[in-house]
Amino acid sequence: MNGENLLNVKDLSFLSEIENMAIVGVSKSRNFFFLNAHLENFKGKIYAINPTLKEIPGYDDGTKGLIYSSIKDVPDRVDYAFITVPREKVLDVVDECAEKGVKLVSVFTAEFSDSGTEEGLRLENELIKRAKSKVRILGPNGMGLYYPKKGIAWRPGFPANPGRVGLICQSGGLVNISVFMAKEMGLTFSKVFSYGNGADLDFVDLLAYFSQDDETDYIIAYVEGIREERGKTLRKVLEQNKKPIIILKGGVSTAGKVAAKTHTAALTGKNEIWNAIFKQFGVIHVETLAELIYGALILDSYGPVKLNNFIVCSVSGGYGVMITDLLEKYSMRVPQFSHEIQNQIAKLFYRRGTSPKNPLDVSVQFYDMENLYNIFDLALSDEIMDAMIFDIPGWYFDPHYRLRKYDDWEGNLFKALSLGQKFNKPIFVVIQRTDFLETRYNTVKKLRELKIPVFGQPKEFLPFLQEMNKNFEKWK
């Protein structure tokens, strides 16, 4: 096991069997940060390894684990180790892990090939030798593995509930931001790999793993580069892959390429080659971390879809005009309803200052929830329409907002927004960020439970929809 298969990628199928783990290099000066993080949700035993430490407050009663001076001394099976010892000691620890039968280690310690020094590079090569392909390595210079189902998490506050999106991230800083940003949007992950220098497990291995992983439906990644000799395997993996992939490629600018080299020793490669790969295999290429997470949110909500014709429904006529302009900019359309449906919708518009044409300007009628439900029902029933965008300012969800007076207004709005399911048509909600923080956040969470994605403004998702439309044929 742990070997390489015909595809020349490493086997990680053992991940689902992880039962116990160890933190090697628990540190009082860091207030046992990584130990405490893993203790939050890990299901099995966590052994704390430190040659001199005698006690850890609140931990060492043995219920969750015990302190040992070496991983070799642990009288139990250890499947996974998080290594955070000084660079000079990493090799010996990996030796011990190999001996102990540990299947995977995350090496948090940096200054291997990423240091740009000969010594760093030598140590990284030595590291691979010591692992003897018995121990798989994430890192060095990475955060390792976040696996919610098992409760493996290198940070406190990472969500404990698993999702269906897999994230591969070459940067340890970006991966933390990604997880918390996703959390704010109600998006969770099946597994997250932060592989740093990728000395052993690299982008290609992890992509191949997710591509076959039953717990993962969609793959997103931040990648700076791969070793040149892995190009062929990457193409093979992408060829066999059936899951939608979104990639944020770091180091596409001249200065960015230099910076990436310093950051993770990555050779960022020629943009033309990457762009050709993206195009050939239908990879959605995004430009910011936010776009990566927003894109994942859309896939997680609706899967890959092709969307041309939009219903726009706005509480503010001006905002509806703006969304309409933007949809056309991003190669989508806001067509008129079919004659019969238009007539029926028009009957439901009874207040002045509203408009029953697409973009629908419901204005204050919006408070009349039964009416809004019926408008949505009719609009979504139109065969020409593929999807709907609904926008509403954050303050409507503020319970102190003075004009609000209907029973279970919010619940009824959610019911209307759930009509997307009836017609199998995606609904995208824009709730502008307007100084009602908690209120907005709570609403986003509730809509997320209904699998309806929420954004702060239309440019957060329209460029992604355009890219998805372009690449849709590859995933059908």
Binding positions for a copy of itself, 259-288, rule CB under 8 A: 259-260, 262-264, 287-288
**Interface with a copy of itself, residue 325, by CB under 8 A:** yes
Residue with tokens 């629908």: 360
Residue of 66, 71, 165, 169 interacting with a copy of itself (CB under 8 A): 169
Q: What is the torsional sign of CA 147, 148, 150, 151?
A: positive
Which pairs with CB-CB distance under 8 Å and at least 24 residues apart come from 206-214? 206/12, 206/168, 207/168, 207/234, 207/237, 207/238, 207/241, 207/245, 208/7, 208/9, 208/233, 208/237, 209/9, 209/12, 210/166, 210/168, 210/243, 211/237, 211/240, 211/241, 211/242, 211/243, 213/166
Among 353, 399, 407, 473, binds a copy of itself (CB under 8 A): 353
Stretch that binds a copy of itself, among 16-24, 97-105, 347-355, 421-429 (CB under 8 A): 347-355
**Dihedral sign computed on CA atoms, order 435, 455, 146, 128:** negative
Q: Binder to a copy of itself among 53, 91, 98, 322 (CB under 8 A)? A: 322
- Residue nearer to a copy of itself on the CB measure, 34 or 68: 34
Least Å from the CB of residue 28 to a copy of itself: 13
How many other CB atoms are there within 10 angstroms of residue 344's CB atom? 16
Task: Give the residue, chosen from 317, 368, 410, 451, that forms a contact with a copy of itself under the rule CB under 8 A.
Answer: 317
Closest separation between CB of residue 446 and a copy of itself, Å?
16
Element (H, E) at 371: helix 369-381
98 vs 290, which CB is nearer to a copy of itself? 290
Q: Least distance from C-beta 364 to a copy of itself, angstroms? A: 10
Q: Pick the closer one to a copy of itself by CB: 170 or 211.
A: 170
Provide the minimum distance between the beta carbon of 157 and a copy of itself in the complex, in angstroms, as a whole number.
8
- Residues β-bridged to residue 152: 147
Rounded Cα gap, residues 341 and 248, in angstroms: 42
| Shortest CB 196 distance to a copy of itself, Å | 9
Residue 339 interacting with a copy of itself (CB under 8 A): no
| Region 137-166 residues binding a copy of itself, contact defined as CB under 8 A | 141, 156-157
147 vs 455 by CB, closer to a copy of itself? 455
Q: In the complex, what is the shortest distance from the CB of residue 343 to a copy of itself, in angstroms, rounded to a whole number?
A: 17
Within 268-338, where are the H helices?
271-281, 289-302, 317-329
In this chain, which of 7, 98, 121, 177 binds a copy of itself, going by CB under 8 A?
177
Q: Applying CB under 8 A, does 429 fall inside the site for a copy of itself?
A: no
Asked if 1 interacts with a copy of itself (CB under 8 A), we say no
Query: Residues of 235-248 as b/e, b for ≥16 C-beta within 10 angstroms?
Result: ebbbeebebbbbbb
Near a copy of itself in 445-474, by CB under 8 A: 456-459
- In sequence order, the 6+-apart residues with CB closer than 8 A to the CB of 25 are 49, 50, 83, 84, 85, 86, 89, 93
Neighbours of 448 (CB within 10 A): 18
Tell me how far, at minimum, the Cβ of 437 lies from a copy of itself, in Å.
4
Binders of a copy of itself in range 358-377 (CB under 8 A): 358-359, 361, 363
- Tell me how crowded residue 120 is: count the other CB atoms within 10 A of its CB: 20
- Per-position x/- string for 60-89, each x denoting binding to a copy of itself as judged by CB under 8 A, each - no binding: ---------------------------x--
Stretch 376-405: interaction string toward a copy of itself, x if CB under 8 A: -----------------xxx------xx--
DSSP state string for 142-167? S-EEEBGGGTB-SSTT--SS--SEEE
Please report how close the Cβ of residue 7 comes to a copy of itself at its closest, in angstroms: 27
DSSP string, 11-75: --GGGGG---EEEET--TTTTTHHHHHHHTT-SS-EEEE-SS----TTTTTTTS--EESSGGG-S
User: By C-beta, is 131 or 289 nearer to a copy of itself?
Assistant: 289
- Which residues from 102-131 bind a copy of itself, rule CB under 8 A? 110-111, 114-115
Chosen residue from 153, 289, 296, 389 binding a copy of itself by CB under 8 A: 289
Paired with 144 in beta bridges are 194
Q: Please state the closest distance from residue 31 (CB atom) to a copy of itself, in A.
A: 6
Of 223-262, which residues contact a copy of itself (CB under 8 A)? 224, 248, 250-256, 258-260, 262
Beta carbon nearer to a copy of itself, 147 or 349: 349
Nearer to a copy of itself, 241 or 264 (CB): 264
Give yes or no for a contact between 403 and 365, defined as CB atoms under 8 angstroms apart.
no
> Count residues contacting a copy of itself (CB under 8 A)?
88
Contacts of residues 154-159 at CB distance under 8 Å and 24 or more positions apart, as own/partner, are 154/34, 154/37, 154/38, 154/82, 154/106, 154/108, 155/37, 155/179, 156/36, 156/37, 156/40, 157/183, 158/37, 158/40, 158/183, 159/183, 159/188
Query: Which residue from 7, 11, 27, 33 is in contact with a copy of itself, where contact means CB under 8 A?
Result: 33
- Alpha-carbon distance of 328 to 458, in angstroms, equals 12
Options 352, 383, 424, 449; binder of a copy of itself; rule CB under 8 A: 352
- Segment interacting with a copy of itself, rule: CB under 8 A, options 49-57, 237-245, 309-317, 416-424: 309-317
